[in-house]
Chain A
Amino acid sequence: MSRFRSRRDFLRDLGMSAAALPFVCNLPSLGFAGTGLRKQRMVVVFSPNGIIPKNFWPDEEGAEFTLKEILTPLQEFQDRTLVLKGVCDKVRGDGDNHMRGMGCLLTGIELFPGNIQGGSDTPAGWASGLSIDQEIRAYLQNSPETRTRFGSLEFGVVVPDRADTWTRMVYAGPNKPIAPIDDPYQMFNKLYGQMKDQESLRSVLDAIRDDLRRVEPLVSAEDRQLLEEHATFVRQMEEELRTDATPDVGHAVPELEPGLREENDNIPKLCKMQIDLMVNSFTADFARLATLQITNSVGEPKMRWIGIEEGHHTLSHEPDSNDEAVDKLTRINKWYCEQVAYLVKRLAETPEPGGPGSLLDNTLVVWTNELGQGNSHTLNNIPFVLVGNGLDFTMGRSLHLPMVAHNRLLMSFAHGFGHRIDRFGNPDFCKRGPLSELI
């Protein structure tokens, strides 16, 4: 484990003074204007516990298809949507299907043996490799043209306060899970804390100066030199703060509803706040990759706001013959889809800063899940719904793929960014390379 490092350490390492803290990295990438490279982005949205296949998968294949009930919130964007049926998580080894579904979803590689015991199967630990978003992040951060302040941002919504294989989807490397930030205020501080610090510094500057003046008579004439020297430093800080007084943030800083607790009934509000923060961070070009993890694998949100009292995971074990459960699970998944649709809508409405079109023209949203279906715990037909034009896939289609390993889809994401890797995760599942069907 490495030593805790604050964001101020980071800035100090960059050689920046306290007062000049601010917006170093939020300007449009230098390369953008110069080279005409577009700012490609990808967002992975996760919701748990599988879907109801008959209300999810379009019957048709190709460009002409009808969205089923769960996917209807995406109607407006159907021509920019790609529904991928037939993608399977083929990774086996330690851990139950929820664990592997979650831990291997973006990594495509086995879990280490460990001490986390699931419902059955052998216990397991963390994934033994990094996740695809972090792979792409490293690729983008490696080049000055595509480097951003954070590279990637990991959002969460009501993720339980415990670290285990069911609560972590993103990995920086083997045994290195990254905890999603599910507190919007914490995320706000990560994104805009420096600006608040600056504001606070600015607000106390006059008082510091007055105070120095006020204490001067307390000291002898000889000692006054030291205080005068001190006053020059305060003036320098003032200068720096004035220089940065009206920085071009590139967008309005979002206002968060204060004091919202991270609890079940606030999920809709928290979700919206996180999505708004994400869209804002794209406008400021803080990052090119983002994940939004709604609850966790085996998550138990109780969606009272749509009239469902039972927890999602408990319901997901009900057999297909339980019509009431099927109905509720359909509504639950439709609600998740509405969150995806809200994100897509925000991206579509927000102009691309410094370029033509909207954010959605340069962003691919991937909505996925750790299971194909909750009651069978299958890792076949993992839901992958892609929206947006970030990666030049041919959108507006429904594809039935021949039960391909999801590693190949993960590779396609990397290739979409120009990062032409020939394997990702377990190489056994990478044969035949990225999915040519997507182009």
Chain B
Amino acid sequence: MTHRRTAPPFLAAFGFVLTALTAVVGRGEDVVDPPLGAALYQEHCASCHGEQGEGVADAYADPLIGDRSLEELSRYIDEKMPQGEPEVLDAEQSALIAEHIHEAFYSPTAQFRNKPARIELSRLTVRQYRQALADLIASFVGPGDWGDDRGLRAEYHASRNPRGRRNSVIQRIDPQVRFDFGEATPDAELIPSNEEYSARWTGSVIAPDDGEYEFVVETENGMRLFVNNPDVPLIDASVKSGDGREFQAVLPLLGGRAYYLQLELIKSKPEKTASMTLKWKRPGHALETIPQRSLWPQTPPERLVIATPFPPDDRSVGYERGTMISREWDEATTHAALEAADWIATRRLRLADTREDAEDRNAKLRAFALRFVERAFRRPLEEPLHATFVDRHFDEAPDEETAIKRVVLLALKSPRFLYRELGHADNDPWSVASRLSFALWDSLPDGPLLEAAARDELRTAEQVRAQADRMVQDHRAQAKFHEFCRQWLRIDHFGDLAKDESAHPGFTPELRSDLRTSLELGLDAVYGSEASDFRELLTGTALFLNGRLAAYYGVDLPEDADFQRVEIPNEPRRGVMSHPYLLSGFAYHGSSSPIHRGVFLSRSLLGRTLKQPPVAVAPLAPDLHADLTTRERVILQTSPDMCQSCHTMINGLGFSLENFDAVGRYREVEKSQPIDASGEYFSRTGDLVRFSDVRELAEFLAGSEDATEAFVRQMFHFQVKQAIRAYGESALPDLQRSFVADGFHIRRLMASIAAEAALRPGTAASADPAQARLEP
């Protein structure tokens, strides 16, 4: 059971070095005398410069800040200070004072450190840019949502023409496309002749994540594949030529959306047999037949997915944010704007809902252009700006196509599109709407939200909350949760997870890909469930397994079983931290890694700050210590004092997962010794917790304030992309409280965060925003 007692840091167990621990717990209960420099400053300087160098009105009013080097500063103080009597301080004392003020408030880094957090002007992140453009187009042609039915609509024809109406003899829903008709036909009665026939599968493919998708079609027959663009095939092999039977193409897609898909099979006389398999390689996954859960039998309209590469966003603070710009970013926005302008200009008639020969074509195109600009800017465009952003281009460009291109170019290069919180002090309904949608979807407000803004119904907390509750049900919120998990669980750092073949045979790329799917399905299941309970992520006892995984992890399932929720018997497996995908990720080639696992538990799940290792250390090679268990080896390696300040925590947590090897399989013995999976943790409040294995770790985490706070804080930063401190001292504790009160409901937390950030203005802008907002 869990042992809780209040333990002063100097009573750490196992005789670990004590002073080091304070550095981790880190809340600076230092009782050392103030350093000499500070004392000297107080004595000789503070009366004129203020306690913290902030200045004293009647003496020296300016704050003591600057960029002199420490040496310069020392010399200056020695020669000039205190004013009028520099002889009071000798060179050594001056140097001590200089050192103190340089570190405490004078230097640029000190100034930065002391600055209060504020809501910073931010551009759209790369994900937000792409999502926003896709939704901007979707607002004209229809949304990207999908329903619960799965599979593809299939039509089989007793002729070579898969689009012909007359010979369509079978209509049905196929769960996926994986057929080997051999020398027979899809149906002996309805298609009696195997000489010539055809089939067409129509519907959409649901992309779970952002990234490049490789589509692969395997057939010995003629075929065409359309993805997203219904007019131009992604792969056209309708002319069968030679022996090639595998065709592939790559397409960038955005997660949380369904894309038009159509696949045609053409069986001709010269081919004896027919078969067809539709596969894909999702980002981070191995090639697989596109599963039923990723297919939907309805067809959505074409989406705009910007392919222009952008420089990656700054993630130095742990989450992506847009507070910096660069020349490369600016150029990427130009390329992307040109790409979008081409795309839109080509489809202008459809988007503007008009025809080449319509009398009101020009008027319709202008109306479309205006709506485009307004939706890009997330607010109405005031009359005087219509000329600048829309009409001028129609009047000056040589033709309508060019006019539309210029409108798009200008709108997408405008700071009103590119920056998220221009005039963020302002709680006007349009700003609130925009904050909500970016926090939940990384994208623009949708129709209902814009309507609410237009009716001025985003004033009260209740109104905003109601919108947030509605929006969190959208697939785009789930896609954002997906992206959050990738960062929270460090999945992007894992690489290909290949393991030592001799120690772990059968840990193939396909199996690893399945493991990732298994983790994603598990996360989605918790997120989407009625309770949406965060604690379930930490204590859940079930895994999603298919036949292949089941065989590898010793569970009884049919070989070809699809993914299903399976309770793991006889194994102490709890929560995401014991999911084999993470366990393999936080492990070495041939052995587990309590250190990686401990760092993950400390940082991601408990939100603790760890310093960089003081020295670069190569892990001790297992074969140099052949008789030591992993646990013993890690203790040996991290025994020096300088390691202990962090490794007391890291090891104490990481050891609790020692029941799982480098591929996340359960074990009770290592090197003929029984596994010791006991661990411990000192919470921020000073409680020492002990756990005998992952079961008690899970129980602890689920009730731990550290873990709850860590989750809320990370979720806030991921959603809002601003420092939570900038929203006031009480923002984090308030959200944490409501999260607990809501039964740790993840979706409600996301809605709360979005609502909280939407109505909380940061530091005020200088001008009256209402006036400056849209003045021409």
Which residues on A are within 8 Å of B, measured CB to CB?
1-4, 6, 8-9, 12, 17-19, 111-117, 122-126, 128, 163-165, 174-175, 196-197, 200-201, 203-204, 207-208, 210-212, 214-215, 217-223, 226-227, 229-230, 233-234, 236-237, 258-259
Contact = CB atoms under 8 A, between A and B. Distances in A.
B338 A18 contact: yes
B766 A113 contact: no
Given A8-B335, A217-B772, 17 more contacts: A2-B249, A6-B307, A9-B307, A17-B331, A114-B240, A114-B241, A115-B240, A163-B239, A201-B338, A207-B389, A215-B416, A215-B419, A215-B423, A217-B767, A220-B425, A220-B765, A258-B399
Given A18-B331, A218-B767, A115 B239 contact: yes
Contacts of B763: 220
Contact of A218 (B236, B240, B772): B772
Given A215-B415, A218-B765, A237-B334, A126 B270 contact: no
A174 B422 contact: no
B120 interface: yes
B248 A115 contact: no
A222 to B, nearest CB: 7
Contacts of B389: 207
A18 B241 contact: no
Nearest to B334: A18
Given A223-B120, A230-B330, A200 B422 contact: no
A126 B238 CA distance: 11
A159 to B, nearest CB: 15
A208 B413 contact: yes
Contacts of B327: 233, 236
B121 interface: yes
B726 to A, nearest CB: 12
B474 to A, nearest CB: 29
B766 A200 contact: no
B270 A123 contact: yes
A400 B99 CA distance: 99
A253 to B, nearest CB: 12
B339 interface: yes
Contact of B422 (A2, A19, A112, A215): A215
A135 to B, nearest CB: 20
9 contacts: A4-B251, A12-B335, A115-B271, A116-B240, A203-B393, A211-B410, A227-B121, A237-B334, A259-B356
Given A18-B331, A18-B335, A207-B410, A165 B239 contact: yes
Nearest to B267: A115
Given A197-B338, A201-B334, A203-B396, A125 B240 contact: yes
Interface string B245-274: 001111100000000000000101111000
- Pairs of residues from A and B, 8 with the lowest C-beta to C-beta distance, nearest first: A125-B241, A223-B121, A115-B268, A115-B240, A112-B242, A218-B423, A18-B334, A233-B330
A187 to B, nearest CB: 15
Interface in B392-451: 392-393, 396-397, 399, 402, 405-406, 409-410, 413-416, 419, 422-425
B61 interface: no
Contacts of B397: 203
A16 B598 CA distance: 46
A438 B700 CA distance: 91
B769 interface: yes
Contacts of B236: 163
A207 B249 contact: no
B272 to A, nearest CB: 12
A234 B325 CA distance: 12
A229 B266 CA distance: 57
B362 to A, nearest CB: 14
B776 A175 contact: no
A111, A113, A115, A215: most-surrounded residue (chain B CB, <10 A): A115
Interface in B95-118: 118
Contacts of A3: 249-251
Contact of A6 (B238, B247, B249, B339): B339
A1 B425 CA distance: 51
Contacts of B251: 3-4
A229 B325 CA distance: 8
Interface residues of B, number: 69
Interface in B360-393: 388-389, 392-393
A113 B764 CA distance: 73
B64 interface: no
A226 B329 CA distance: 13
Contacts of B772: 217-218
A174, A175, A217, A227: most-surrounded residue (chain B CB, <10 A): A217
Interface in B600-645: none
A8 B336 CA distance: 10
Contacts of A236: 327
A228 B374 CA distance: 24
A111 B437 CA distance: 56
Nearest to A225: B121
B239 A126 contact: yes
A113 B775 contact: no
Contacts of A215: 415-416, 419, 422-423
Interface in B270-317: 270-271, 307-309
Contacts of B423: 215, 218-219
A230 to B, nearest CB: 6
Given A116-B239, A125-B239, A208-B414, A222 B270 contact: no
B417 to A, nearest CB: 10
A122, A220, A233, A259: most-surrounded residue (chain B CB, <10 A): A220
Given A123-B269, A208-B413, A200 B330 contact: no
B274 to A, nearest CB: 11
A302 B693 CA distance: 84
B512 to A, nearest CB: 25
B221 interface: yes
B344 interface: no
Contacts of A116: 239-240
B65 interface: no
Given A123-B268, A215-B416, A233-B325, A200 B406 contact: yes
Interface in B80-137: 118, 120-121
B422 A114 contact: no
A218 B422 contact: yes
Contacts of A163: 236, 238-239
A174 B243 CA distance: 12
A8 B242 contact: no
A117, A211, A221, A237: most-surrounded residue (chain B CB, <10 A): A211
Given A8-B338, A18-B334, A204 B413 contact: yes
B339 A200 contact: no
Nearest to A211: B414
A218 B334 contact: no
B765 A219 contact: yes
Contact of A226 (B121, B248, B269): B121
Contacts of B68: none
Contacts of A115: 221-222, 239-240, 266, 268-271
B341 interface: yes
Contacts of A111: 241
Contacts of B325: 226, 229-230, 233
A236 B326 CA distance: 12
B422 A126 contact: no
Contacts of A227: 121, 415
A125 B413 CA distance: 47
A9 B270 CA distance: 40
Contacts of A128: 242
B68 to A, nearest CB: 22
A218 B769 contact: yes
A193 to B, nearest CB: 8
Contact of B339 (A8, A214, A233): A8
A233 B329 CA distance: 10
A91 to B, nearest CB: 15
Given A3-B249, A214-B775, A222 B239 contact: no
